[in-house]
Chains A and B, each alone.
Chain A
């Protein structure tokens, strides 16, 4: 019964046409990042995130997306660093458990590449970001993948002693990959 209500709500929330890809396959999706520590690129990711999409590969410019990331699900590859990242100086997940991205516009860049413009909210601060991405259709699924740089200090991520960018660089590269089905 609950599932039916959820499905009904989803249908109301996303009036999708038959061509729209709307359902996220979390196992084949990822939100990852590369930070530079002492000049060394270090990979990490967020294990939990949710997303609502409405993308028609024939009309990508009309696509819409909202992504919510559970910041406490950060995986830096190191337990101590995970705890530190959840703490006040970094994401402060107690006050700000999630980060969100809400798209406002999609532009075609040519050669099958696009750019999404939207509002990124992290730690209570909202800034406009642009992220180039590509679309790929594979075995009935639509893959939306791209990457863009983000300046962590713009959002106050890593304050205090960590604001020293000679140890952890200001720029962090975000890599996203969302696999969608209809």
Chain B
């Protein structure tokens, strides 16, 4: 018999990642407009620590997913919807790697190494390069807006299932919402 919901581990990882995105994204938008100050340096560091934490959680989540099959989509779902849902998931995973990675590379190119929680220095994967740093800043920003679009599609899909189709898709990630046992 197939499981109805995700495992507790998958659920915990999903919501932790969601929380980090919902904090790190607006923080990123806010902080880069600030005039240079000690607070700005602090916020940049917090943002980078969150990004690296997110990258690690996504890696754990993907390896967990590889060994624990997610519950199947309902058989009643039209195949185009299944395809759409799966495509958004694949792209979300790609972006969840690409977004923090582009930030990490941008920091290295700008000559500001990432030291996780001020304790663990991450290697600079590329050398200091001002022009590359500017380019990566734009890449990081563009990828973030793609991620924002995907998150909106993901959330809209989940809400559509819960409030329009009235199925248990959302309950797979929020077990207390389950309607049919």
Q: Are A38 and B41 in touch, CB under 8 angstroms?
A: yes
Residues of A within 8 A of B (CB): 37-43, 77-78, 80-81, 84, 161-162, 164, 167-168
| Total contacts A-B at CB 8 Å | 42
Tell which of B11-19, B68-76, B86-94, B111-119 binds the partner: B111-119
A77: chain B residues at CB < 8 Å are 110-112, 128, 130
Question: In the complex, how many angstroms separate the beta carbon of B27 from the nearest chain A beta carbon?
Answer: 15
Q: Closest chain A residue to B121 by CB distance?
A: A40
B38 at interface by CB-CB < 8 Å: yes
The 10 closest A-B pairs by CB, nearest first: A167-B38, A39-B118, A38-B45, A77-B111, A84-B36, A40-B115, A167-B41, A40-B113, A164-B38, A80-B36
Residues of chain B from 18 to 74 with CB closer than 8 A to chain A in the complex: 36-38, 41-42, 44-45
B110: chain A residues at CB < 8 Å are 77-78
Question: In the complex, how many angstroms separate the beta carbon of A91 from the nearest chain B beta carbon?
Answer: 14
A81: chain B residues at CB < 8 Å are 36
Docked CA distance A84–B36 (Å): 7
Question: In the complex, how many angstroms separate the beta carbon of B43 from the nearest chain A beta carbon?
Answer: 10
A38: chain B residues at CB < 8 Å are 41-42, 44-45, 115, 118
Question: In the complex, how many angstroms separate the beta carbon of B145 from the nearest chain A beta carbon?
Answer: 23
B115: chain A residues at CB < 8 Å are 38-40
Question: In the complex, how many angstroms separate the beta carbon of A156 from the nearest chain B beta carbon?
Answer: 16
